[in-house]
Amino acid sequence: MPRRASTARTPTARADRQPRGRPGAARAAPGRRYWLFKSEPTSYSFEQLQRDGRTSWNGVRNYQARNLLRSEIAVGDGVLFYHSNAEPMAIVGIARVVRGGYPDDAAFDPASPYHDPDSDPSAPTWYMVDIACVQAFAGPVTREQLKAVPELASMLLLQRGSRLSVQPVTPAEWRAILRLGGASESW
């Protein structure tokens, strides 16, 4: 899904909502979970996030990903930024969630490519979160590199048919990928 930086904010913040636990999910830090967000670099790249500093992750139009954005992803969680449909497809940096799930205002904007005429502001269908840039990797961590790491054999990104644009990442996967990218969890 294409991404855009948005300065528009909806007044219905959901920062007070606590994320529901995922059965069997281990956490590396109390309350912190990890995610992978996919974006085509021609729509919204990590370099653009570095320039913007912060963006709204809007335009996601898949119900499973929407449920994660609405109810699971929380302030302080870590995000792996993945360039999809690119050469090479790779994880290129990390971000952190700075605002939890709230209604995706693009769904209500008829001029937006993400407009959904069936989404009602009083009962929104689509949600987004805000992320902030943390650190670029020393170099792209390609799918081929990821496939070569035994700790990542079960990673959702590497499973056949996995197309979800927002995916959970285990703490062990997070640590292995940060090692590959020459980054550290510094916040």
Residue ranges of domains in the chain? 34-181
CB 34 within 8 A of CB 81: no
Pick the more confident residue, 8 or 129.
129
Instruction: Retrieve residue 52's tokens.
Output: 């913007």
Count CB atoms within 10 A of the CB of residue 34: 26
Residue identified by tokens 């690119």 is 86
The yes-or-no verdict on residue 47 having pLDDT over 80 is yes
Q: What is the pairing mode between strands 34-39 and 78-83?
A: parallel
Q: What is the pLDDT of residues 84-131, one digit of tens each?
A: 999 999 999 999 999 999 999 999 999 999 999 999 999 999 999 999
CB 106 within 8 A of CB 58: yes
Pick the more confident residue, 6 or 158.
158
Q: Which amino acid is at 29?
A: A
Does the CA dihedral 74-96-44-109 come out positive or negative?
positive
CATH topology of domain 34-181: ph1033 like fold (3.10.590)
Q: Apex CA 65: angle with CA 146 and CA 4, to 5°?
A: 85
Calculate mean pLDDT across residues 36-49. 97
Given pLDDT bands bounded at 50, 70 and 90, which one contains residue 174?
very high
Indicate the DSSP class of residue 32. Answer: B
